Structure 1
Amino acid sequence: MSVPRRFLPHTSLLVSFEAAARLGSFTAAAVEISLTQSAVSRQIRALEDQLGVELFLREKQTVRLTAAGEVYARDIRDALHRISSSTLGLRANPAGGTLNLAILPTFGTRWLAPRLPRFLDGNQGITINLSTRLSAFDFDLETFDCAIHFGRGNWPGASHELLMGEEVIPACSPQFFAQHRFSVPADLRAVPLLHLTSRPDAWEKWLRLQDVGAEHVHGMLIDQFATAAQAAVSGMGVALLPRFLIQSELDRGELVPALDLPMVSAESYYLVWPSERAMLPPLIAFKSWLRQEASAFQAETGTGTMVGQQ
């Protein structure tokens, strides 16, 4: 749909406004963008005239944003950042395009990163930019083309595809196991349990699954799987961890199951993307490749739920 030109101020006006809004000064903005103070003042006045809205309150030798200016400045800053990022990506890789991908830290480093060279070899010309995110994301506020996240597939306004489920096990160091010799699930209530801040009720779910009282479960809070795994390796307690993400530690004997009683997580790993970017060529190629990798991994390990469109 064509946007009326009256709603598209010239970029130079927006750049001057964004700089002045961020710096709180027409003079400082002029220095940053290599214009005179009077030129910046004229451009901001022209923008206000075009919008029919006062963006700054001018008081003697100072200026400050109006309430409307505050809101507009935030939106314009995000828009200019998107334009800048897209331009940078295009200049860096004009042939294949760029994919901006948000990833979960441990999943990204332990599962995705070792496989990415295969994607890049088969899709020469595509550049992938990776950013880690633990908390919920908003595609309207951040310039991601897609994200790999863990949840139940309920991201309003976005499309998603199921990649895989997971199985978690209680794990500890061999020395910690030798010290405590766990034989039944209730034995774990007597030792330090390591909790992930992103899954604060995971231990309660596991204990209930084993018909063990889950009231007043306390312990150290840790924000990432890799740190929780290292804490368990160091003998600080028992951590409830996805088996496939700690397979290296299990293979090396640095971690052992405290009890061989796995639990299938209610949530799964998904690829999520803004619906309006569904036809982005790098995203189409990445989705196809990731679907194949996830299917092959599950066939090899017998892990989780089959991939598929949701």
Structure 2
Amino acid sequence: MALPRRLLPSVSLLRAFEAVVRTGSTLGAAQELHLTQGAVSRLIQSLETQVGVTLFVRDRRRLTPTDEALAYARDVAKALELISRATMRLGSPTGGGTLSLAILPTFGTRWLAPRLPRFLAAHPGITINLATRLKPFDFDEEGFDAAIHFGIGTWPGTESVKLLDERLVACCAPGLLSGRMIEDPRDLFALPLLRLETRPNAWAEWFAHHGVHDPVPQGMIFDQFAPMIQAIIHGLGVGLLPEFLARSDLEDGRLLPVHGGPVRVEGSYQLVWPKTGARHAPLLAFRDWLVDEAADPDGLEMLPR
């Protein structure tokens, strides 16, 4: 069923509109799109005429987007991004292709990024585009081919493969203990316990593994591992870090293990992809390579720190 023309503005109109909202002015949009301000203004007027809605409040030479325009701009930006990614995949060279991958920030920078040269050397025709996402999202809206995700539940409409279990090590800076001996897990209750927003039960699981079921004191909360690692290194408290993230800092002496070895907790790192894109050739190549990398413990030691 064909949609009415007014519901399908041209890409040039939508690009001008999105750029004006994002940059805050017709001048900013004109510079970005390599057009004149007059041309951008005419594109905005044409879009308003076509959709039958006033998108900006005009005060002399200033354009202020309405609330409806702001919401529309968010949807338009997503749609333009989807078209861009789809076009990149369409225009990929034979035998290659593009993989748009969402990654967890710290996992991506400290585990995946050092390994990617191996994949790209083995698959020179494939281009990988990376963006960070902390939580599950709608693949249809975001346009990603796959995501590296941590969790325990299912992601609707997807398939997945497990990469790594979560094994946490309690770590602190050498100076934090000041000669104090940690002989019993409960001794940690006297120290600041740092937490990660996405692992709310990590400390409770860690203490339970050591036979302690007392309420865990509250501490600073971080949304990502990277700033929490820096907080631990600078002596702000004790934190639970994945073994693979803590390894280099422990070996270099910036961190100390506080009590016991790595503790297996709930959840795992997974590669997740939408069922509708399961046969995308770059995804298949990346999935097979990534599973092999995660299964090779010697490969971890071979990487530079």
Q: Structure 2 length normalisation: TM-score? A: 0.77
Partner of 1:94: 93
Change (3 A) 1:159 1:8: farther
Distance, in Å, in 1 between the alignment partners of 2:260 and 2:76 is: 54
Equivalence map 1:18-57=2 (5 Å): 19-20=16-17, 23=20, 45=49, 54-56=52-54
Matches within 5 A, 1:154-165: 154-165=154-165
Shift of the 40–208 alpha-carbon distance from structure 1 to 2, 3 Å rule, reads closer
CA distance in 2, matches of 1:184, 1:66: 57
Residue 138 (1) aligns with residue 138 (2):
yes
CA distance in 2, matches of 1:276, 1:138: 13
Q: What are the Cα deviations for residues 53-74 of structure 1, in whole angstroms up to 9, with x where unaligned?
A: x55589999998797x887665
**Number of the residue aligned with 2:13:** 16
CA distance in 1, matches of 2:150, 2:122: 27
Change (3 A) 1:231 1:37: closer
CA distance in 1, matches of 2:56, 2:249: 63
Indicate conservation of the 8 Å contact 2:206/2:265, yes or no. Answer: no
Q: Mark the CA change 1:116 to 1:22 in structure 2 (over 3 Å): closer, same or farther.
A: closer
| Structure 1 gaps, min length 5 | 49-53, 302-310
| Number of aligned positions between the proteins | 288
SS of the residue 2:183 aligns to? coil
Paired residues for 1:114-129 under 5 Å: 114-129=114-129
State the Cα distance separating 1:289 from its structure 2 match. Answer: 0.8
User: SS at 2:290's partner residue?
Assistant: helix
Deviation at 1:98, TM superposition (A): 1.3
Q: Is the 8 A contact 1:173 1:234 kept in 2?
A: yes
Q: 1:129 to 1:168 in 2, by over 3 A?
A: same
Q: 1: distance between equivalents of 2:227 and 2:18?
A: 40
Q: Secondary structure at the match of 2:161?
A: strand
Write the mapping of 1:122-271 to structure 2, written as runs, cut at 5 A. Answer: 122-177=122-177, 179-215=179-215, 217-271=217-271
Distance 2:76 2:189 in 1: 53
Residue 16 of structure 1: CA displacement? 2.2
Distance in 1 (CA, whole Å) between partners of 2:90 and 2:187 is: 57
What does residue range 93-112 of structure 1 map to in structure 2 within 5 Å?
94-95=93-94, 96-112=96-112
Contact 2:249 2:255 in 1 (8 A): yes
Does the CA contact (< 8 Å) of 1:17 and 1:44 recur in 2?
no
| One-letter identity of the residue aligned with 2:85 | S
Distance across 2 between alignment mates of 1:235 and 1:70? 43
1:127 Cα deviation after fit? 0.8
* Identity rate, percent: 41
User: Structure 2 CA distance, aligned partners of 1:173 and 1:110?
Assistant: 20
Letter in 1 for 2:93: P
Q: What secondary structure, in the 3-state scheme, does the structure 2 residue paired with 1:165 have? A: strand
1:179 alignment partner, SS class: coil
Q: CA deviation at 1:149?
A: 0.8
Worse overlay, 283-292 or 249-258? 249-258
In structure 2, the residue corresponding to 1:183 is in which secondary structure? Answer: coil
Q: How far apart, in 2, do the equivalents of 1:242 and 1:66 lie?
A: 43
- The answer on whether the counterparts of 1:55 and 1:66 sit within 8 Å (CA) in structure 2 is no
Q: Shift of the alpha carbon at 1:214? A: 3.7
Contact 2:160 2:272 in 1 (8 A): yes
Whether contact under 8 Å (2:169, 2:246) holds in the other structure is: no
Match of 1:159, as an amino acid? E
> Which letter maps to 2:269?
Y
Q: CA deviation at 1:120?
A: 0.4
What is the TM-score when the length of structure 1 is the normalising length? 0.76
CA distance in 1, matches of 2:73, 2:131: 25
Aligned match of 2:279 = 279
RMSD value, Cα: 3.7
**1:147 and 1:60, CA in 2 relative to 1: closer, same or farther beyond 3 A?**
closer
Residues 14 and 76 of structure 1 are in contact (CA less than 8 Å); yes or no, is this contact kept in structure 2? no
What 5-or-longer segments of structure 2 have no aligned partner?
none
Secondary structure of 1:291's aligned partner: helix
Quick one: distance in 1 between partners of 2:244 and 2:58?
Answer: 64
